[in-house]
Amino acid sequence: MEIRDRILVVEDDKRICNFFRTVLEANNYDVILAQTGAEAHSMITSQCPDVVILDLGLPDMDGLSILKSVREWSSMPVIVVSARTHEKDKVEALDLGADDYITKPFGTSELLARIRTALRHTRMGLNKSGVPTGTFVSGGLVIDYDKHRVFVDGVDAGLTQNEYKIVSLLGKYAGKVMTYDYIIREIWGPNMKNDNRILRVNMANIRRKIERNPAQPQYVFTEVGVGYRIVEPD
Amino acid sequence: MKDRFRSIIKNAAIASAIIGSVTAFCLILQQFVQAGNFVQLLFVLAVLFVARYTDGYVYGIVASTAAVVCVNYVFTYPYFEINFEIAGYSVTFVAMLIVACSVSALTTRIKKQEQIKLEAEREKMRGNLLRAVSHDIRTPLTSIVGSASGIVDNYDALSPKDRLELVKDIRDEAQWLIRIVENLLSVTRIGEGNARLAMQDELAEEIISGAVEKFKKRFPDISIQVRLPEEVVLVPMDGILIEQVLVNLMENSVIHGKTTTELVIEVKSGGGRVEFSVKDNGQGIRPSALPHIFEGNLEPDSEGEIDSKRNMGIGLSVCMSIVKAHRGDMSAENLAGGGAKVSFWLPGSEEEE
């Protein structure tokens, strides 16, 4: 018998729960539902789900506090569900350790893609800590972590040190959105005040070096108001 | 509380500046000519200005008292002494007081009327929007309810293909509703006077690529060209809202251009502004609609040229209010070779790269 991945959906609206259950079960996942934060708490600890889909707006507690308590003892993938206008919530959730977010309203293909990515990340991410080694390949883009070089279609893109650091940071968490603040902290250190300008300018330069058309990028994408994300490796 | 404090400071500053400059002026004038009636006249004028340019009565009354003391102390013999026995002293004081009070009363009334007018205009805009929205929402809802109950009631009678068609309609209409709601959310985000925009320096190319990505999800067949200046263009803006503006413009070009197959998005920077434009190769904008296009109450005309269901009113008026909130402006024109161009500009960042 095949082992199915178990997904915990924390969502208070019955109809949306219904939708999650139908779609996920049809796609061969084992689905458990929690409608309150308290229920979610006990299910996370007792049922050990492979992925948690967490709606931030719950009746009894703030979704972020569930995320915080999960992160104290586990790195299980958590996908946060939030509304479009709440950019701050998304950023906060990502900074608190959420693996990904999905914006309401969303389609099923988007949802399934996020779940697959999250699962793949945990499967591969056992040695997540430390500096990545080897190479990252996606289409024409190659990040050589050992040589500290980035190649596009076989040609060295000639990134500066900071530019390389940004690209390799994104590559390390490929497919996942890195928030602006997180990148700034990682590259320039914690004392750098939230200077978005310097990050934007670096990003613009990176794009001019690795993308054919900076306004229609193939490799590095912007999630407006949240952060940056690099394509998944092949 | 803080605002109130600020307003007191501001009004006090205005009042003292006016009284101060008149005093200085009189002192200088006095060097050349014998102090005469002009001093009192000038102070009456000063009181009038104070009453006109401050809020409420207090400043005018304080200013008139100050003016009377000033005239008495500085400019009437004996100089630099208060002398209450000068003839007509009380008359001057009363006259100034009356000037101050009546001008303040007039000013307050004018300001109130302006406020009322502004409110009325805002109310009208809100009404227009509400009307457009209810109109725009009802049609897709009708279709959703119709299709859904069609499936529920005739499940067995319908072929799987028909069922799929109906379900697809439901999805498309729901997506249309999402678009409307997102626009409404954008408006409420800027509508509250105190809710400030989340301004940040954003790269023009990032906002455009975000908008293009969203647009491509719904219209994968439209070809899009983006023309950017060579240099890095950083613009202070609320990225989410400007992205929404671009998505709206692109979708409008396709939905109302009808024959649109190609879009050109262009960014130009210069003269302290950054201009974004969306050009299409569609049917263009009906000339009679062009002057009112941003007003938000475009009614489908008798010729039915505007799709009676897909009213572009909300989209564009939302764009306009977002751009205005950024202190920019919008314009629309038809292109000579066919198609339309809608553009907006935003003030650039102070320090250029």
Q: Which of B208, B213, B221 is nearest to B275 (CA)?
A: B208
CATH, domain range A135-230: 1.10.10.10
pLDDT at residue B241 greater than cutoff 80: yes
Cβ-contact B140, B181 below 8 angstroms? no
Q: Which of B215, B129, B143 is nearest to B179 (CA)?
A: B215
Report the relative pairing of strands A78-83 and A51-55 from DSSP bridges: parallel
Q: Tell me what pLDDT residue A79 has.
A: 92
Chain A hits for B192, Cβ within 8 Å? none
Judged by a CB distance cut-off of 8 A, whether residue B202 touches chain A is: yes
Q: Tell me what pLDDT residue A129 has.
A: 54
Distance CA B306, CA B323 (A): 24
Phi, psi at A150, each rounded to 5°: -120, 130
Q: Give the position of tokens 């080694």.
A: A133
Q: Which residue of chain B is at minimal alpha-carbon distance from A206? A: B232
- Angle at Cα A87 formed by Cα A103 and Cα A39, nearest 5°? 60
- Per cent of chain B over pLDDT 70 is 84
Q: Label residue B84 exposed, middle or buried (CB < 10 Å: 0-12, 13-18, 19+).
A: exposed
Cβ-contact A4, A119 below 8 angstroms? no
Q: Tell me what pLDDT residue A61 has.
A: 82
Distance CA A66, CA B157 (A): 47
Phi, psi at B342, each rounded to 5°: -115, 130
Q: Which residue of chain B is at minimal alpha-carbon distance from A205? A: B232
Cβ-contact A108, A23 below 8 angstroms? yes
Structure tokens at B242: 């400007």
Distance CA B71, CA B39 (A): 7
The count of C-alpha atoms lying within 13 angstroms of the C-alpha of B9, restricted to the half-sphere facing its C-beta, is 6
Q: Which residue of chain B is at minimal alpha-carbon distance from A108? A: B171
Q: Domain residues of chain B, as ranges? A: 2-116, 197-353
pLDDT digits (tens, 9 = 90+) for B13-69: 888 888 888 888 888 877 777 656 677 778 878 888 888 888 777 787 788 778 777
Q: Residue B210: which of A205, A207, A224 has the nearest Cβ?
A: A224
Identical fold, A6-127 and A135-230: no
Q: Which of B180, B174, B237, B240 is nearest to B210 (CA)?
A: B240
Structure tokens at B147: 């299709």
Q: Which of A189, A170, A164, A171 is nearest to A227 (CA)?
A: A170
Other beta carbons less than 10 A from residue B271's beta carbon: 9
ipTM: 0.81
Cβ-contact A207, A214 below 8 angstroms? yes
Report the relative pairing of strands B329-334 and A155-156 from DSSP bridges: unpaired
Q: Domain residues of chain A, as ranges? A: 6-127, 135-230
- Of residues B3 and B241, more confidence is placed in B241
Cβ-contact B311, B300 below 8 angstroms? yes
Q: Tell me what pLDDT residue B328 has.
A: 87
Distance CA B100, CA B58 (A): 9
CB contact under 8 A, A215 and B205: yes
Type of residue numbered B20: G
Judged by a CB distance cut-off of 8 A, whether residue B265 touches chain A is: yes
> Average pLDDT of each block of 10 consecutive residues along chain A (234 residues)?
84 88 92 90 88 86 87 88 76 88 85 88 62 81 89 88 91 86 87 78 91 86 89 83
Judged by a CB distance cut-off of 8 A, whether residue B39 touches chain A is: no
- Give the architecture (CATH level 2) of A6-127: 3-Layer(aba) Sandwich (3.40)
Kindly give, in sequence order, each residue whose CB lies less than 8 Å from that of residue B126, ignoring residues fewer than 6 positions away. none
Cβ-contact A216, B212 below 8 angstroms? yes
Q: Which of B333, B240, B351, B226 is nearest to B285 (CA)?
A: B333
B166-182 average pLDDT score: 86
Smallest CA–CA distance, residue A95 to chain B, in Å, is 19
The most confident of A188-197, B20-29, B164-173, B342-351, by mean pLDDT: B164-173
pLDDT at residue B353 greater than cutoff 60: no
pLDDT digits (tens, 9 = 90+) for B194-226: 456 778 888 999 999 989 988 888 888 889 999
Structure tokens at B259: 């024959």
Cβ-contact B180, B133 below 8 angstroms? yes
Q: Tell me what pLDDT residue A26 has.
A: 92
Q: Tell me what pLDDT residue A228 has.
A: 92
Q: What is the pTM of this model?
A: 0.72
Q: Tell me what pLDDT residue B301 has.
A: 45
B330-347 average pLDDT score: 88
Angle separating helix axes A87-95 and A63-73, nearest 10 degrees: 10
Cβ-contact A182, A104 below 8 angstroms? no
Structure tokens at B245: 């503006």
pLDDT digits (tens, 9 = 90+) for B295-321: 655 554 444 444 444 555 567 878 888
Q: Tell me what pLDDT residue A190 has.
A: 79
Listed range (A129-133, B51-55, B125-129, B272-276) with the worst mean pLDDT = A129-133
Judged by a CB distance cut-off of 8 A, whether residue B240 touches chain A is: yes
The DSSP bridge partners found for residue A171 are: none
B278-291 average pLDDT score: 83
Q: Which residue of chain A is at minimal alpha-carbon distance from B353? A: A201
pLDDT at residue B192 greater than cutoff 60: no
Q: Does domain B197-353 have CATH number 3.30.565.10?
A: yes
Chain A hits for B265, Cβ within 8 Å? 215
Please give the mean pLDDT across all residues of chain B: 80
Helices marked H in chain B = 2-32, 37-53, 58-70, 89-153, 160-191, 204-218, 239-257, 313-325
B135-156 average pLDDT score: 87
Residue B264 — very low, low, confident or very high, per pLDDT cuts 50/70/90? very high
Judged by a CB distance cut-off of 8 A, whether residue A204 touches chain B is: yes
The count of C-alpha atoms lying within 13 angstroms of the C-alpha of B200, restricted to the half-sphere facing its C-beta, is 20
Kindly give, in sequence order, each residue whose CB lies less than 8 Å from that of residue B352, ignoring residues fewer than 6 positions away. none
Smallest CA–CA distance, residue B227 to chain A, in Å, is 8
Chain B hits for A84, Cβ within 8 Å? 182, 185, 240
Instruction: Return the C-alpha torsion angle B239, B172, B176, B206, nearest 10.
Output: 10
B250-254 average pLDDT score: 88
Distance CA A224, CA B248 (A): 16
